[in-house]
Structures are given as structure tokens and as C-alpha cells.
Structure 1
Amino acid sequence: MTKRPIAIVTGASQTRDIGAAICRQLAMSGHDLVFTYFKATADWATSFTTELENQGARVLAIELDLGQADAADDLFDQVEDFGTPSILINNAAHSTMTDWRTLDAASLDQHYAVNLRAPLLLATRFTKQFVEAHLTSGRIIQLTSGQDLGPMPDEIAYATTKGALSTFTKTYAAAVAPLGITVNAVNPGPTDSTWMDEATRTALKPSFPFGRIGAPEDVARLIQFLVSPDGGWVTGQVIHSEGGFER
């Protein structure tokens, strides 16, 4: 029996969020899953685990606050008995409105901890266990929001910390390519997941030439390609998969 690769997906906390869509897509394509959730109910995590298991996946659900300094160590300590992951999807994010009037040290630190520090520390822990397990093919993917395509003046802390992931992606890709690990970032553009209300949908829809807003499943399918053997020659890239979104 072929052993299923193990993927870690951070930030799967609601049925319609991007993290949940990624988990479903990877479970359907033959992966076992470790997903982290935060501010979700235990009942939801249990039911979502069952949903993924019904697709044939082994699943480990971990309640985790990625804002804590020891979050990466905590996660990998819990994953140790589950197996060695060959895929890391840094999807979790912290976002609040911060313009020049409201930005302060506390809000900046909160964004930094989840959006930048956690992905970097998770990536380094992932790489260390990858080497110790003598694996030869791995994938790291971060989710960004197109911060390098235009200004976000009402979300200064979010734009700054998530934007730094693009630089990290390019630098870390070069660092771990000799180990057989690819590192990429995906910007899915405005996605109709958990944050959109009807007014937002109405305002954004004309900016999509396909006549619809992006769905969580759109980015999940791209990530499935990137983690597959067919995606093994793509690394150090920030992929703007926005369905032609016009700013």
C-alpha cells in the first residue's frame, strides 16, 4: 500500500475558509492532513476531521495560537507521532484595519507574530525534520494578498507583514533548493470565503472579467498542482492567481 504524503495546513477554522478548501483538495488527492485551527469550536474541528477522514485521509487537528512564540515547536512536537510532513502550507493570517492614525506597537506586533514570525519558524522546523527524516522532495507554500501589486493604506500592519513573506519566499527557496524543497507564495486575490458580505461582493464582481468572484476552491486547486510532482520545477515564485482581477 502506497504511503500517503502528509501536509500541514495552518488556519483552517471555518467551513468556507481557504484553509478548509485546501484540506479538502489535498485529502481528495491522496494526502494525510494536519490542520491547525484557532477560535473555532471543538465540535467544528471534530466534524471537519470526520469529513476529511471520509475521503480516506488520516487527520490530526491541532488547536493552536500562532501568535505564541513557541507555536512552531508546539505544532511539530504534536506532529511527531503522526509522521513526517513533506508539505507545509502557511495559510493562517491575522488582519485588522490599521491606518496611520491607529497603527501602534501592539497591533504591529500581533500582525508580525502570526503573519511573519510563525511562517518563518514553521518553515525552519519543517526543514529540520525533513532533513532528519532523509526526505528528498518537499513543498512550502505561503498565502499572500498581492501586497506588492498595490497599496493597502487602511491595512498597513497586515500589508507590511504579509508582504515580507514574498521576500522570504524567494530567499528561502534558494536556501533549501539543494535539499529538494520548493518554496512558493500564492496570492488568490479577493476570495469569497469568510470575510465578504453582499455589499462587498457587489462592489468587487465587476472587477473580475470572468463574471464571478474567486472561490476558496480556486486557490486550493492551484496549491494541489504546486505540491504535486508536476509542480516540482516551480520555486521562488509569487503566483498572482486572481482570475484577472482588475485593480
Structure 2
Amino acid sequence: MKYALVTGGSRGIGRAIAVKLAKELEYPILINYQSNDDAANETKKLIEDEGGQCELLKFNVADLKETHQVLDSWIKHNPDATVEVIVNNAGITRDGLFMWMKPEDWHDVLNISLNGFYNVTNHLIQKMLTNRYGRIVNVVSVSGVKGTAGQVNYSAAKGALVAATKALAQEVAKRKITVNAVAPGFIKTDMTAEMDEKELKRMIPINRFGEAEEVADLVAFLASKKASYITGEVVNINGGIYS
């Protein structure tokens, strides 16, 4: 059986992606999450109510040992299964001016977005290479493409992931594995709930925040066979704010 894994998949953009991959591409879904059991179970129920299959994998992507333990345990119990799609969506923000940024706020943001990508993808890519097929989609951000004041840590993490996307794409293309990134702008989620939408939407040519569902549509396309000739790309989805 072929699976899709979504990290940070219990809510927000991750949830929308997980539901979309189950519904449109009919993948059984593995949802990684770190702590919010209620949100993870809610996402699982959304997928199952639509007739899909879903399993929850609780681990911190920034912790290499824990990531390997949980993934290896799942692989052991599902010897015939293959993770064919990886969506690296897990990420956190710890915003603040760089001059006052605490070391933990720098390291935590980089560890989850960047090291999380390494810990999960590096561990699962061997089987993709053997099977000569795979889809890796990294959720980055407008901050990682243009840089955002007050988000030096987040911009650094996502910018590094943009570069990693382009490099890895070149390494694995011959094995029919594509590696792409999507860079959302302002999307309505818990992460942006406290932002002044009325004020900020003036900066956005389309004059509104995006929906998580719209990001999920793009990810589902890149994860499909229709996107076989697209790799190493960073697709901006931001209402025209920056491209």
C-alpha cells in the first residue's frame, strides 16, 4: 500500500493538505503531530468521514531519535507499505527583532522547519529511490523567499528549505522523484489569527487572506502524477504580494 505523510498535519494548512490528499489522490494518510491530540483526532475523523484512511504518528520532527523510532516502528508493522508522498509542513514561528532574539527562539524555529525536513525525508527517501517514484513537497513561506522583518529566524529556516528543495530535486530527478516547495503568503490559520487582517490585506493585490484549502489544492497537484515534469520549483501562493 502507498501512503502520504504530512508533518504538522493536525491543523491549519497541514490539516487541509491531509484531507485533500486523502480525498483527491486517495492516499491513506499518515499525520505527524507533536502535541495536540484533540486536533489530530479531529483531522483523522474528517478524513475517515470522507471514506479515507488515516493513522496518527506522534513525534517531534526536530528530534532525530524520536522521529526514527516512530517511523521505524510504523514500517515494522507495515512491511509492505511505502511512503510515496512526503509533505514537510511542520513549522513554528517565534517572531521578534533579531537584536533581541533569544538563542532558543532561533534554534527551535530552525530545528523544526529545517532539521525536521532532514530527519523525516532523509529517513524515508531510500525506499523512494528503490521504488523509482516519489513526491516531496516542502511548505515554505513568502518569508523564506523575500525575507520578513521580525522573522529573521523563520526567514532563515524557510529560505534554507527553499535552497534544499532545489538541490535535492537535482539529486533524485532521474529516479522519478520530484521535489518542490510551495510558499504561502497570508493564509487564514491559527498562526495568523492574531494578525490585523483588515490592515494587512491592503498590501495584498487580491485584497484578502488566502484559505488553507487553496494551498492544499496546489500541494495535491504537485503530489500527483500530473506534476511529473515539475521539480525544483518554488510556487508562490500569496495573492500577488510577492513573486
TM (norm. structure 2) is 0.90
Q: Alpha carbons of 1:87 and 1:75: their partners in 2 closer, same or farther (altered >3 Å)?
A: farther
Q: How does 1:169-188 map to 2 (within 5 A)?
A: 169-188=165-184
Asked if the contact 1:13–1:39 (Cα under 8 Å) also holds between the matched residues in 2, the reply is no
Q: How does 1:217-236 map to 2 (within 5 A)?
A: 217-236=213-232
Aligned counterpart, 2:124: 126
Per-residue deviation, 1:204 = 2.0
Query: Considering only aligned residues, what root-mean-square deviation do their CA atoms show, in Å?
Result: 2.0
List runs of 5+ in structure 2 lacking aligned partners.
none
Q: What percentage of aligned pairs have identical amino acids?
A: 26
Name the one with the larger helix percent. Answer: 2
Aligned counterpart, 2:21: 26
Report the 3-state secondary structure (helix = DSSP H, G, I; strand = E; otherwise coil) of the residue aligned with 2:111.
helix
Asked if the contact 2:97–2:149 (Cα under 8 Å) also holds between the matched residues in 1, the reply is yes
Q: Alpha carbons of 1:165 and 1:213: their partners in 2 closer, same or farther (altered >3 Å)?
A: same
Q: How does 1:186-197 map to 2 (within 5 A)?
A: 186-197=182-193
Matched, 1:158 2:160: no
From 176, 187, 200, the equivalent of 2:196 is 200
Amino acid in the other structure paired with 1:164: A
Aligned counterpart, 1:13: 10
Asked if the contact 2:145–2:159 (Cα under 8 Å) also holds between the matched residues in 1, the reply is no
Amino acid in the other structure paired with 1:233: Y
Report the 3-state secondary structure (helix = DSSP H, G, I; strand = E; otherwise coil) of the residue aligned with 2:43.
helix
Q: Deviations over 1:125-177 (max 9, x none)?
A: 1211223xx42321001111123543322111111111100110011001111
Partners in 2 of 1:94 and 1:71 — Cα distance? 19
Q: Deviations over 1:214-236 (max 9, x none)?
A: 00001100011111111011000
Q: How does 1:64-213 map to 2 (within 5 A)?
A: 64-80=59-75, 81-82=77-78, 83-131=81-129, 134-197=130-193, 200-213=196-209
Aligned length: 239
Amino acid in the other structure paired with 1:188: P
Report the 3-state secondary structure (helix = DSSP H, G, I; strand = E; otherwise coil) of the residue aligned with 1:34.
strand
